[in-house]
Structure 1
Amino acid sequence: MISIEGLSKQFRTDNKTITAVDQLTLDIKEGEIFGVIGYSGAGKSTFIRLLNRLEEPSGGRITIDNQEITKLKANQLRLARQEIGMIFQHFNLLWSRTVKDNIIFPLEIAGVPKAEREKRVKELIDLVGLTERENAYPSQLSGGQKQRVGIARALANNPKVLLCDEATSALDPETTNSILDLLVSINEKLGLTIILITHEMHVIRKICNQVAVMEEGKIVEQGDVLDVFLHPKQTVTKKFVEQVMGSNEEDDSVTHLINTYNQGKIVRLHFVGETTNQALISMVAKKFTIDINILQGKITQTQRGAYGNLFVQLLGEADEVNAATYFIRDETSVELEVIRDAD
């Protein structure tokens, strides 16, 4: 769907040349929600603006749906951009226009007949959950509602690709989740390819299938979101994973648990992927005559399933505790590691 080869962007000042995007190569599949994450200055916002040539590349090629965007002349580019919607961090709405008129604006520019415009706007208002707000002005809307207008406007011309540049970073956590849920719904209903730029790993975790990590204009790590969570290779990626999972102080944590809980067997349960049995603890407690104490841990969800660790204490007769341990290892998808065996 999207092929990017050797993409570069330099900004020249009086004294030096700054490379914002450096020989970036990437392939994005049709219908995918693809996340690009990086800290400020990593080059991610420049990268997404290069995709629809809001910024002109210094080198490289961008091909979207078999059309090489980097070769298009002005008139051709104008038509191509109708198939590439974009939403922004600060909404970029027309403040003198109502919700309806903001959404209708790109349809007017595209020369869509009035009757067709009216029908399309109604569909979009319903799609993004703004029914009965079509006559409100942006100043009368909440942040989440403004972003819903931005999403509807970006979808007006039935694009094949939706670019999201820090689309939730100006929103509170609850509103962020509602917007992310909306993007997932749009992806599923319309089969839209979504590229999402962010500096927040929980956004990637919640909705993305694939993720690329940017640093100093380069992609330093890339892969399936769950795989990146499980096996982060670069220091910057590990820091992002810690945003969701917490600081990696596991060795100290294990020592503390061993010293604090001096009875029974302590095990670490490692949850990975979509086959994880969410009812594991209650199932084991019913199946075996043991007591199970959850000591600590953190489980989070990705699009592919659960990921995380849970430390539990197993108390009871040795045979029952051992039988429960073997059951978890052999009969479930949860990985088990014995931290301290029973006394």
Structure 2
Amino acid sequence: MIDIQNITKVYKTKNGELTAVNDVNLSINKGEIFGIIGYSGAGKSTMIRLLNGLEKPTTGSVIVNGQDIAKASGNELRSARQKISMIFQHFNLLWSRTVEENIAFPLEIAGVPKAKRAQRVEELIELVGLKGRGKAYPSQLSGGQKQRVGIARALANNPEVLLCDEATSALDPETTESILQLLLDINKQIGLTIVLITHEMHVIRKICNRVAVMEAGKVVEQGDVLRVFQHPQAPITKNFVSKAAGETQETQASLEQILTNYPSGKIVKLTFAGATTEQPVISQIIKQFDVVINIVHGKISTTTGGSLGTLFVHIDGDKQQIQQALQFLKQHEIQMEVIEHD
């Protein structure tokens, strides 16, 4: 569906050249939700502008459904952009137009007859959950409702790809969840390919099938979301994953206190993924080995690829029994990390 080949984007500034995207290769499948995550300055916003043709790469190609967007121009580029829609962090609605008129705007530009426009607008209002709000103006809507209008407008011309540029960053957590669920529902209903740009790993965890992690213009890691959460490789990915898993500074401070209070035994971080989250390993260890286990902290979250659980436990007892218990965990394909003092 989307094939990004050796993309590099270099800007010329008064201080010299700035490489915003550096030799990136990505392949995005038709109908999947693909996340691109990175902090400010990572190059993800430039990537999204390269995807919709607002920027031309210095080198490389952006193939969307067999067409190289990087080489398209004029009518060819305008036609290609009609199949690549976008929603934004700050909604970008027309404040003097009603909900219906905002959604109808791209249809007007495309020359769709009035009767067909009205029918399509009605369908989209129903799809995004805004029935009864068609005559309202943006100033009369909540943040979540504004983003729903933005999504409806982006879908007006039946695009093949929807680009989401930090689409939930301006929303509160509860509204963020509802918008992400809407995007997930739309993806399932119409098979729309979604490329989601964000700096929040919980957004990736919630709805994405695969993810690419960007840092300093490069993709430093990519893969299935569940695999990346279970086995993060790059330091920046480990940082994103730990924050999404709720491992805050308070958690680390609590672990340090636990290590102080329990000088014997081991504090172990266990990570469960997929089917392993349903295994009763703690009770099995207690039955099979002469050890005492205290659960310090735990959390289970879900990804599109399955459940992901993190559990911190204190294991105490005979050293040999503890080692046998740890070996038991390894044999059951549970990722394990013994926590030591910093």
Residue 330 (structure 1) shift: 11
Deviations 1:68-100, CA, capped at 9 Å, x for gaps: 212222101111111111001111111110000
Relative to 1, partners in 2 of residues 1:135 and 1:333: Cα closer, same or farther, differing over 3 Å?
farther
Matches within 5 A, 1:147-166: 147-166=147-166
What amino acid maps onto 1:79 in structure 2? S
What amino acid maps onto 1:296 in structure 2? H
Residue 107 (structure 1) shift: 0.7
Separation of aligned partners in 2, 1:334 and 1:119: 53
Deviations 1:259-292, CA, capped at 9 Å, x for gaps: 75799x98958353332455849997xx99xx98
Residue 337 (structure 1) shift: 9.0
Bigger shift: 243-252 or 157-166? 243-252
Is the aligned partner of 1:224 residue 2:224? yes
Relative to 1, partners in 2 of residues 1:266 and 1:91: Cα closer, same or farther, differing over 3 Å?
same
Is the aligned partner of 1:295 residue 2:285? no
Contact kept? 1:2, 1:65, Cα under 8 Å: yes
What amino acid maps onto 1:185 in structure 2? D
Matches within 5 A, 1:1-343: 1-245=1-245, 246-247=247-248, 257=258, 260=261, 270-278=270-278, 280=280, 294-311=295-312
Residue 137 (structure 1) shift: 0.5
TM-score by length of 1: 0.84
Separation of aligned partners in 1, 2:141 and 2:251: 45
Contact kept? 2:273, 2:309, Cα under 8 Å: no
Contact kept? 1:266, 1:311, Cα under 8 Å: no
Contact kept? 2:330, 2:336, Cα under 8 Å: no
Deviations 1:205-258, CA, capped at 9 Å, x for gaps: 111111111111111111111111122221211211121121599998778557
Contact kept? 1:201, 1:240, Cα under 8 Å: yes
Contact kept? 1:267, 1:336, Cα under 8 Å: no
Separation of aligned partners in 2, 1:226 and 1:24: 22
Separation of aligned partners in 1, 2:82 and 2:200: 28
Relative to 1, partners in 2 of residues 1:330 and 1:155: Cα closer, same or farther, differing over 3 Å?
same
Relative to 1, partners in 2 of residues 1:254 and 1:189: Cα closer, same or farther, differing over 3 Å?
same
Contact kept? 2:268, 2:315, Cα under 8 Å: no
Structure 2 residue runs of 5 or longer lacking an equivalent are none
Query: What secondary structure sits across from 1:71 in the alignment?
Result: coil
Query: What secondary structure sits across from 1:196 in the alignment?
Result: strand
Residue 158 (structure 1) shift: 0.7
Deviations 1:137-169, CA, capped at 9 Å, x for gaps: 011111111110000000011111100000011
Contact kept? 2:226, 2:273, Cα under 8 Å: yes
Query: What secondary structure sits across from 1:116 in the alignment?
Result: helix
Separation of aligned partners in 1, 2:314 and 2:67: 58
What amino acid maps onto 1:230 in structure 2? Q
Query: What secondary structure sits across from 2:79 in the alignment?
Result: helix
Aligned pair count? 335
Relative to 1, partners in 2 of residues 1:335 and 1:8: Cα closer, same or farther, differing over 3 Å?
closer
State the identity as a percent: 58
Query: What secondary structure sits across from 1:36 in the alignment?
Result: strand
Separation of aligned partners in 1, 2:242 and 2:160: 33
Residue 170 (structure 1) shift: 0.7
Deviations 1:120-143, CA, capped at 9 Å, x for gaps: 111110111111001100111111
Relative to 1, partners in 2 of residues 1:333 and 1:130: Cα closer, same or farther, differing over 3 Å?
farther
Residue 312 (structure 1) shift: 5.1
* Cα RMSD after superposing both structures: 3.6
Relative to 1, partners in 2 of residues 1:338 and 1:70: Cα closer, same or farther, differing over 3 Å?
closer
Contact kept? 2:125, 2:131, Cα under 8 Å: yes
Bigger shift: 185-194 or 237-246? 237-246
Separation of aligned partners in 2, 1:11 and 1:231: 35
Separation of aligned partners in 1, 2:222 and 2:172: 28
What amino acid maps onto 1:107 in structure 2? L
Relative to 1, partners in 2 of residues 1:331 and 1:154: Cα closer, same or farther, differing over 3 Å?
same
Deviations 1:38-90, CA, capped at 9 Å, x for gaps: 11011100110111111222221111111121222210111111111100111
